[in-house]
Structure 1
């Protein structure tokens, strides 16, 4: 029933559009011909945009040949995009290597809420089949939200003018190295055309997602010390993604009305099983624990948008109204049998433990805007407006009472497992946040010969009400407000017919993570150290610069190099309250405050071109490399920003064979090491290289068949953990545990057929 209501919401604007404007004259013919709905026949390149703000644009032809399942899979080939996900996963975008909360994710130019506590949106929630192009906006403009320190990813879906005709996509997915199920399916259809007085586009997609992985851990008492235990783990993530989008565009009342909606459901089950062995001796006599951890996830994302543009008041006025929501429901169940607690060995377990956790996050945003643009003549344009955003977030994390019992020290009938009791919210787990923003802005842009520029001011006001129902009544409600003035400037200089320089400077913000705002006390959150949030946190602020040079290569190629720098103030960092922790002497209660500062810098190079300048016009290459660096000081001293990779490298080649109606290609990706240091724990993450290939054949005039393979090098993820009981132990390098973990997965193959009509 809930799915039907959400789909109805996505379709409702379209249902109302046709009868309401039945007397309006239809627009002129289609923009895209039928033969263009399937990408084939020429090398895939990135676009050269005319935006003054530095923007990289990648159309569908840059991604489609490798048949990515999600937007995250597609973004793996984009400069400076890193992920810190499991193998075969691409969820939280880490633009320029920074945490996902530093990157703004937009769908069709509108903000979307995410389920993460850092306000980030997982891009693997959007099937790649729904997108028209992806834009990477490296700097900010006054007419967009300023919470984009690292930059903005704008996911542009197919609109009503993009197609005249459509196609059907049918495919099979194979996991030949998996012992947990080897096949899945992927199905989709897209159609666009004239409906009544306007144009309609509809798309739907259903695809299986399966990610079987193996993990192995070794745990020592310290680096180079005694091996305490090993853990052998399997992790199978099995699910299905459902996607639907629609758009309707019509001329009405002297203007253009654009209505669109997208709904995506992620239905996923994660099954993790592990066995621990004493001293690394993997036999029954040294069995320590057997663990089964299951997680059932259902996430619904809905985004609806209405936009009306018309000429009035001496210029062009735009009215916007949008609604976006995420409904994330999770149920986690964990059972563990412990052995070797006495002289009785396997299979008579010494202790049996059951845990159960419920998560329900509902985040809704209403957005509205009135914007006006006036031509001031002499090449000058004035744009001003006000944007309003109202967010309501309800979060519930609840646990049932832990069930734990010991088995007698002699063989005996095992007691029956009792039923779970009622679930209760964990500390900080029952909360609501209301956030209202009113953001006026003004922007002036101009162009004079080879020089184009824009300058703007944005004033973001934020009123926040935080309610935590797990703390004492006197602490349950906190109100906070802040305002930031965000200037921005960008310029584009045409040096020659083939070269141009792009410069930008902007002030941006990052609002606090939701989990940092709760006043609830979390006992032993970091080793033996307690933690309490700070509902009065202010946003982090940043001043940044980008300076780039682009050069056109031949008729369609492009190469670019960009240098960036960000100075970030008011960083949210952990501080000691001076109060003793719940674990007693030697431990403390920590909180967070705006006390830090740091800088981020890097150099980004990208190349995308056919080799027509050497007579190989059917051969295309792309290469991008980003060198990333940062500096920050925490309570231990200097470090990089947490989890920022050293570099990101992508290299690819496509070769078309026009006489055969065929093509093939490959792409290689490598991401540098990423380090992290928090209270009582340090981590270094390394990834192996990733290789993907495709082979395609066109059949007749309207069918293309592709075979793709990914993770062909059996890439691994390796992690090194330094764990401590307390901050003092961390300073003194007195280890609680030193762990080495590796995670691996096999290749994935897809066979996909597209039929155009």
Structure 2
């Protein structure tokens, strides 16, 4: 019942909007047809045949967020996994785990790079696309999120921000600086950011076993005092030259350094059953990561209808990690002393081109190619003393991933009411992995992705339109998933198994159909109802097995899976309902997702970690030219999930309430106050195993507290 009450609360603005639309429709003033590309009237969401939602720079800055996942969680149809306040994986259509493609300036994010280390102050806009397009990778079964770094340049622009945050479990400091200027044929912008986070959380852990008849045979409780510190620095320079002959040259770079240290001791209290081998343990870790990414783009206007773009770039990701684990028995003696160090280096280069032209009247044709190579080298050293036995090993792992793609697309505007998008992309990926503890692995995949989208603006209406899209997308196999190397768990069991790869994995292939109806009250006010269905072949799911000595979890292709869902979104000013209403803008979305895996018995045989129901409600109030405020409530449910015949999980409902207020003190200074996770609801996740002899469950509950942030911003 609490779940339904939350959804009902979130749905209230939409229910209010319905009678408002019915009442206002007869008095609506007719609007002229808006043709794509017409100056001052173009709206990407409404007018592009290949639909996308654009999150503007103002929306990104609204809550003073220092984390990109906090920005994304308030967008319609996007949810996060994990506990509030801890970031988490990004999901579209309720799907994460690689189904949602993350792009930076139109290119796939570097594997292993966390977008939470990318400061929101360095971002100009975010494009959210629920259907793939041929000019970007079609590794987007759930959709794509394209993060565009700051590009716009205002002459003599200087911006600075300082943000302080405090909560029971966290302290944060964030500062950023943006400098931009224009000369005659040259312009530049440089963004810099520093972020510091001290996070202290004490999750409660409960482990229990039963005999299959409902009788407990083991019950253990523990509290982990988890203290984490993160330091991050970013620098994003952009240089642009206007060359002779109508050409432009743009250099865009990103430098990012982050250090995360963690100290997490844990102690078990045995209430029933035999004690584990390790009653107390300590984990100390430090992870350093440096990213350097640079792209150079040359654009040449060949004639008024044609343009050629060439783009090349390089990426270097360097990481060093150290993990120290200590385990103590019941008598206080050390039973485990393990030190692991990991040194990883990843480098890559890309080269692509794109030719755009007006083939014939009303046809915009684009064709091009993408080439990329990524090399990864990892060395891991481990020394271990367990129960008096000393072990030491060194492993090395190398992988090379080559990607090649050709694409072509044609957007055909038949008339101002009807347009089609037809795209075709061929993409090939070859992965080669070698190591000193496994045989060489090579994996090849080729995917041809046809894409059809259409936009039909209904006759006799300037406000109503229908979209339809058919697409072929896929999810590639990550190199680490192919390596049959064993990553040993501290305490091996059916709920804390060792991890391994599978060299026989194949990519997941999907056919998808999307449809939507949109009604625009005004330029930026709308109600949208959309539905989708997807069929996925060679579905990859985790497979748990006992090899006679240890429990091992490895991915495997397991037949076919299906997912479908519906989504409602609306946003409008309150004045649509009442002319004398205050300047309040209302936002609301509600999404329902279903899925099933053929080879997993039901009920609850959904995709792993899929969010069945999510909702977002937001209000923004412009009280005066100098003061504005608002809030957003987000809801996503979890519930039981059957991963295989023996594996299951359970996650509690996630509810977040965020508030903000903005004061424009004068033309140069403004102050922002925000409160995150105001409800402070804890989050619990259960990982379980069940067979004929009984069940084994591990439950972790994370405490959550509100976070207060104060931001001072200046332009000089």
Q: Normalising to structure 1: TM-score of the pair? A: 0.81
Contact 2:278-2:335 within 8 A present in 1 as well: no
| Shift in alpha-carbon separation, 1:215–1:550, aligned structure 2, 3 A | same
Q: Deviations over 1:676-709 (max 9, x none)?
A: 5258642212244111111221112221111111
The partner residue of 1:740 within 699, 704, 707 is 699
Q: Deviations over 1:293-335 (max 9, x none)?
A: 1221222232211111112387211101122343332211122
**Matched residues in 2 for 1:443 and 1:141: separation?**
8
Classify the secondary structure of the residue corresponding to 1:249.
strand
Classify the secondary structure of the residue corresponding to 2:176.
strand
The partner residue of 1:653 within 619, 637, 647 is 619
1:320-719 alignment runs, 5 A limit: 320-339=311-330, 349-404=332-387, 424-425=394-395, 430-447=396-413, 448-471=415-438, 475=439, 477-495=440-458, 496-520=461-485, 527=494, 533-573=501-541, 581-583=547-549, 593-613=556-576, 614-615=578-579, 616=581, 618-634=583-599, 639-658=605-624, 661-673=626-638, 675=641, 677=643, 681-719=647-685
**Matched residues in 2 for 1:79 and 1:572: separation?**
27
Contact 1:160-1:200 within 8 A present in 2 as well: no
**Matched residues in 1 for 2:344 and 2:592: separation?**
36
Per mean C-alpha deviation after superposition, the further-off stretch among 697-706 and 319-328 is: 319-328
**Matched residues in 1 for 2:97 and 2:544: separation?**
26
Contact 1:687-1:715 within 8 A present in 2 as well: no
**Matched residues in 1 for 2:464 and 2:291: separation?**
42
Per mean C-alpha deviation after superposition, the further-off stretch among 189-198 and 591-600 is: 591-600
| Shift in alpha-carbon separation, 1:190–1:590, aligned structure 2, 3 A | closer
**Matched residues in 2 for 1:666 and 1:445: separation?**
39
Contact 2:154-2:182 within 8 A present in 1 as well: no
The partner residue of 2:266 within 271, 274, 282 is 274
The partner residue of 2:177 within 175, 186, 189 is 189
User: Which residue does 1:256 correspond to in 2?
Assistant: 248
The answer as to 2:230 corresponding to 1:228 is no
Classify the secondary structure of the residue corresponding to 1:318.
strand
User: Which residue does 1:303 correspond to in 2?
Assistant: 293
**Matched residues in 1 for 2:60 and 2:152: separation?**
21
Per mean C-alpha deviation after superposition, the further-off stretch among 46-55 and 128-137 is: 46-55
How many residue pairs match? The answer is 658
Classify the secondary structure of the residue corresponding to 1:124.
helix
- 1:521 positional shift: 6.2
| Shift in alpha-carbon separation, 1:679–1:693, aligned structure 2, 3 A | same
- 1:469 positional shift: 2.0
- 1:405 positional shift: 5.2
**Matched residues in 2 for 1:468 and 1:436: separation?**
18
Q: Deviations over 1:192-220 (max 9, x none)?
A: 22146211111111121233222112222
Contact 1:243-1:262 within 8 A present in 2 as well: yes
Q: Deviations over 1:497-521 (max 9, x none)?
A: 1122122111011111333312446
Q: Deviations over 1:606-665 (max 9, x none)?
A: 222222322336211211221111111335567100010111211111212216x22221
- 1:392 positional shift: 1.3
**Matched residues in 2 for 1:166 and 1:505: separation?**
45
User: Which residue does 2:237 correspond to in 1?
Assistant: 246
CA RMSD of aligned residues (A): 3.0
Classify the secondary structure of the residue corresponding to 2:58.
helix
**Matched residues in 1 for 2:348 and 2:365: separation?**
29
The answer as to 2:147 corresponding to 1:155 is yes
Per mean C-alpha deviation after superposition, the further-off stretch among 349-358 and 235-244 is: 349-358
| Shift in alpha-carbon separation, 1:628–1:207, aligned structure 2, 3 A | same
Classify the secondary structure of the residue corresponding to 2:279.
strand
- 1:362 positional shift: 2.7
Contact 1:530-1:582 within 8 A present in 2 as well: no
Q: Normalising to structure 2: TM-score of the pair? A: 0.85
Contact 2:185-2:243 within 8 A present in 1 as well: no
